[in-house]
Structure 1
Amino acid sequence: MRTVIVLACTLAGSFAAAVEPAHEAQRHPNIVYILADDLGYGDVSCYNQNAAWQTPHLDRLATEGMRFTDAHSGSSVCTPTRYGVLTGRYAWRSRLKRGVLNGTSPHLISPERLTVAKMLQQNGYQTACIGKWHLGWDWPGTDDGSQAIDYSKPVQNGPGAIGFDYHYCHSASLDMPPYVYVEDNRVTSLPDRVTENKDSKGFWRKGDTGADFTHRDVLSNFTKRAVAYIEKRASKEPPFFLYLAFPSPHTPILPTAEFQGKSGTNAYGDFVLQTDDAIGQILEAVDNAGISQNTIVMVTSDNGCSPRADYEELSRFGHDPSSGFRGHKADIFEGGHRVPFVVRWPQRVKPGTSCDATICLTDLMRTCADVIDVSLPDHAGEDSVSFLPALQEPQTTDGVRDSIIHHSINGSFAIRQGKWKLALCPGSGGWSNPTPANARKEQLPLVQLFDLEKDLAESTNVAKDHPEVVDMLIEKLRQDVERGRSTPGRRQQNHGATPFLPKGYEQAA
């Protein structure tokens, strides 16, 4: 699969470097981590030469930094990926074995667990979380014992409990109520109405809506607040970590008037361009603050593109959000979890580079630990591998991942090692055909083995031709599951049982 990086002018970055304070070169770097929501691998034009639109700001980031071609979310859906980003641990080790949380779910990350934010906080960083949370927090109930939320009381066990000095968030996906902003554990404006939108693309569920909450304005609001945070922290000590989780281009697909029709395709394409523009505003804030040389900016997505984007409609414009990979969001196939991942760090990363090393979004934690030269305890970052060596030398084979475990919305597993990918389910494990139910009806094989060197589209199951590879990968997965970790270190505990083989496989084998 060919990819093209669109070259862009870097005068703005050069100017920022020229005015950068001298102390920036000495201290630990600022870290800005931008997580888009449902942005497909092929939705970014520097990853897809056949894209129906251009994403100039992401392309510029790639031109000024490094583009990873084999990056993967820890899951093919929202909540478990976010858990992995912040903990360095696969979410299926927690109580969440499949699916996602909703807007009123209790907290998933224990306050006792070490997170990226808490680790950086303990090592002198100021930390902030802005955007979509979707990891559960504990809403206060009313005194009468009903299930109603008392919005006048503080939220418990949110971002502040796991290492964020400041947070301004929405509880879950933008189509899940309640629709209120929470700033440092307090709702910013009490609900004054109930809203619902049944339009297929602009869809959101019925729920309480804050007086200051308008769905179409949420992306712009989060962007403005992130820009303000960067401007505020840029001239201050210590360095900062900003975790910026955009709610887009996930449903409801609601581009603002400025972007409507801009992609020349559909509303989803327009929303992608608005998301790219928001990324551009963050880059501009970093550059204008004179801190670009020693600020790591990472941009990625929590999983593949959702079918809500309307793949059929986009195909009429020659656009494939999965860029030739099979499947989409929710699936065990590559389209479900292979994501764009771009890093800019002028002080350490050579511009215009591309890296084919396999990385996972769980790798943020150990990479940040390596950047600031601290060690993680055995009970933290159990599935996190540092990609700092790849940032410094994109062709290196030292320190990169030996294997990676994938997980679909229905709890199906796959394991990848080198060219081999073993999917332990019949069908997609998600929403694309064959769905789990249809795969069972059709009595499709319970395991699927793909040679990704020859068959990147995962079109041919070669499990019968390579039983020794199937056995080897199952044993590798078994060990990684049972040890409570996939990295070197002391054995850790999973939360409850974690079955990874498809039902009936042991008997069939």
Structure 2
Amino acid sequence: MSKRKNLLVSLLAVSSIGFAAETKPNIVFIYADDMGYGDVQCLNPEHGKIATPNMDQLAAEGMVFTDAHTSSSVCTPSRYGLMTGRYNWRSERQSGVLNGFGAPLIPTHRMTVASLLKAQEYNTAMIGKWHLGMNFTKNGKAQHQVDWKGPVSGGPYDLGFDYYYGISASLDMPPYIYIENDHFVGECTTIKAFKRKGPAQADFEAVNVLPDLAEKAVAYIHQQKDSQPFFTYIALPSPHTPIVPSPEWQGKSPLGQYGDYVMQTDSVIGEIIEAVDAAGLAENTLIIISSDNGCSKAAGIPALEAKGHYPSAQFRGSKADLWDGGHRVPFILRWPAGIKAGTQSDQTICLTDLMATCADLVGVKLPDTAGEDSVSFLPALSGKPIVSTRSGIIHHSISGHFAYRLGKWKLCLAKGSGGWTAPKEADASADAPEAQLYDLENDPGETTNLYASHPEVAERLLKQLEADVKRGRSTQGPVSENDVKQIKLWKSGK
């Protein structure tokens, strides 16, 4: 790590901070799976008990966003928002997630971050967990009856990525086999169960996947040249279930296997950063680290908290929930040519904003049919206010419950968490208010419901939410269409 630190000191000494890089910046986006805001030690210094030195150092060398949110509190929809710049619930999927055999959620005619950058002559690659659906060639009617020698379509390779290597969905979802570009790597000849039972390639073992993907990512970065910019989307399968730290990482954390797996995830992130630095690409490479949603209850949150570790930090809830613990995520950036080291932004952003930011970085305007819910956060990288035509940000839970965030106010159209944390909707008290309203500036833990005492605020946020849904977009531009005719805002209550 000391070599890396010395390199960055040298780079910062010769770099002028600002947006105008002489060449288009390389972009490396690392997406952890189910890693909570409080799992990164520097974001949760008092109640974070897992060592994350690589993410901590990246934060010291760059910028932290303290108020970044995924568009959903579960993985398939949050990945849809990231890739398209469009809210997930505008698609046909209104709740839940796909499985490993699911059909493509993103049509090939829709612009993605990858296709946007590819059109600007970027090399584009994705390594890791896709979980947005693919078409498998079938040799029968059953879901698992797949022709393992047949082509794969509708995935990353058809949505703007020049190269893809990874798995179709979560590490606990079959089929358990790697896919490279548009073909399977080998064939599924056996059955395995990493929580869920299904077809597997004989040599595929869950414990090897994180190291395998790290090796692929590092190799890809070392292949890049200064002469052509590149975009690499690295979607790690950890620390999502199955929680399978490699033998050399087992027992490293006093918190048990989950702590071990987060530490290994941080180490892999460090390997990727080291690859960028060793390749001499650090100065004009924007590295972003985030997570697809909050920490999962499968991590054993009560046991972690009993040992002093709070995966959601000071925020209420966790994965699947409308409360901030479900979708407020780590967001750490480093770009020596464009970001001053050791800085922080408290401006509210959504991960749908990656698309507009990338367009801003390369100096192109998004077409009206792309990035309908995307706002560039590029100004924030130099400490300036984000210029937005979007009023607020819409949150969404696993069950399809909605929330609206506008400034310090947050309106949840649910009686409970809208997810997995008690009280769940089915368990909420019969006399509970039909919705929740919180002042996050004074109550970041969402403990005091102001819905009854501030009806005018609740009504203002509800009207804005209704308008953003109806227009098919939340940013300025021509009215667009959602993929479903009617979107039900109130899943419980009204």
Bucket of the pairwise TM-score, normalised by the shorter protein: over 0.9
Q: Which residue of 2 aligns with 1:414?
A: 403
Matched, 1:207 2:204: no
* Preserved contact between residue 293 and residue 347 of structure 1 (Cα < 8 Å): yes
Counterpart position of 1:350:
340
- 2:241 alignment counterpart: 251
Which whole-Å CA distance do the structure 2 matches of 1:396 and 1:64 have between them?
Answer: 21
Instruction: Report how far residue 25 of structure 1 moved.
Output: 5.5
One-letter amino acid of the structure 2 residue matched with residue 415 of structure 1: Y
TM-score after normalising by structure 2: 0.95
Which amino acid in the other structure matches residue 126 of structure 1? N
What 5-or-longer segments of structure 1 have no aligned partner?
Answer: 1-6, 198-203
Quote the residue 1:10 is aligned against: 5
CA distance in 2, matches of 1:470, 1:77: 25
**Cα distance in 2 between the residues matched to 1:443 and 1:153:** 56
Contact 2:389 2:476 in 1 (8 A): no
Shift of residue 9 of structure 1?
7.5
1:15 CA drift (Å): 5.4
Corresponding residue for 1:336? Answer: 326
- Secondary structure at the aligned position of 2:153 is classed as coil
1:81 is matched with 78
Question: Distance in 1 between the 2:30 and 2:142 partners?
Answer: 38
Q: 1:105 aligns with which of 102, 112, 121?
A: 102
**Match status 1:128 vs 2:125:** yes
- Residue 189 of structure 1: how far off its partner (Å): 1.4
CA distance in structure 1 between the partners assigned to 2:95 and 2:419 by the alignment: 11
**1:266–1:146 CA distance, 2 compared to 1 (3 A):** closer
Q: CA deviation at 1:146?
A: 5.0
For residue 17 of structure 1, report the CA deviation from its aligned partner.
Answer: 7.3
Q: Kindly, what percent of the aligned residue pairs are identical?
A: 52
* Helix, strand or coil at the partner of 1:464: coil
Is 2:316 the counterpart of 1:326?
yes
Give the one of 389, 392, 396 matched to 2:382.
392
Aligned counterparts of 2:27 and 2:4: Cα–Cα separation in 1: 23
Name the SS of the counterpart of 2:247 in structure 1.
coil
Matches within 5 A, 1:61-460: 61-142=58-139, 145-147=141-143, 148-197=145-194, 204-233=195-224, 235=225, 237-393=227-383, 396=385, 398-399=387-388, 402-439=391-428, 442-460=430-448
Q: Secondary structure at the match of 1:327?
A: coil
Q: Does the aligned pair in 1 maintain the 2:413–2:492 contact within 8 Å?
A: no
Deviations 1:178-232 (A, max 9, x none): 00100011111111321124xxxxxx20011113411001011011100000000
What do residues 418-443 of structure 1 show as CA deviations (whole Å, max 9, x unaligned)?
1100000110000000001101x534
Q: Secondary structure of 2:126's match?
A: strand
- How many angstroms apart in 1 are the aligned matches of 2:12 and 2:346? 28
Q: What is the DSSP-based 3-state SS (H/G/I as helix, E as strand, rest coil) of the residue aligned with 2:462?
A: helix
The equivalent of 2:479 in structure 1 is 491
Partner residue in 1 for 2:43? 47
Q: State TM-score, norm by structure 1.
A: 0.93
Cα drift, residue 14 of structure 1: 3.6
Please report how far the alpha carbon of residue 324 of structure 1 lies from its aligned counterpart in structure 2 after TM superposition: 1.7
The CA deviation at 1:376 is 0.4
Do the aligned residues in 2 keep the contact of 1:389 with 1:399 (CA within 8 Å)? Answer: no
Gapped regions of structure 2 (runs ≥ 5): none
Q: Give me the whole-angstrom Cα distance separating, in 1, the residues matched to 2:160 and 2:4.
A: 37
CA contact (8 A) 1:16 1:288 kept: no
Cα pair distance change 1:258/1:185, threshold 3 Å: same
Tell whether the 8 Å contact from 2:8 to 2:336 is kept in structure 1 after alignment.
no
1:451-505 per-residue CA deviation (whole Å, 9 max, x = no partner) reads: 1111111111111111111110110000000000000001100011211124451
Structure-1 separation of matches of 2:3 and 2:122: 32
Rounded to whole Å, the distance in 1 between the matches of 2:37 and 2:151 is 38
Runs of 4+ with deviation above 6 angstroms: 16-20
Distance 1:369 1:208, change over 3 A: same
Q: Shift of the alpha carbon at 1:108?
A: 0.3
Note if contact 1:17-1:291 (Cα within 8 Å) is conserved in structure 2.
no
Q: How many correspondences in the alignment?
A: 486
Quote the Cα distance in structure 2 between the aligned partners of 1:347 and 1:72.
25
Contact 1:62 1:352 in 2 (8 A): yes
SS in 1 for 2:303: helix
Change (3 A) 1:19 1:388: closer
Partner of 1:369: helix, strand, or coil? helix
The Cα shift of 1:401 comes to 5.9
Deviations 1:350-375 (A, max 9, x none): 00001100011100000000000100
Amino acid at match of 1:310: G
Give 1:259 shift: 1.1
CA distance in 2, matches of 1:145, 1:425: 39
Q: Which SS does the other structure have where 2:152 is aligned?
A: coil
1:160 deviation in Å? Answer: 1.3
Does the residue aligned with 1:364 lie in a helix, a strand or coil? helix
Change (3 A) 1:26 1:189: same
Distance 2:306 2:320 in 1: 23
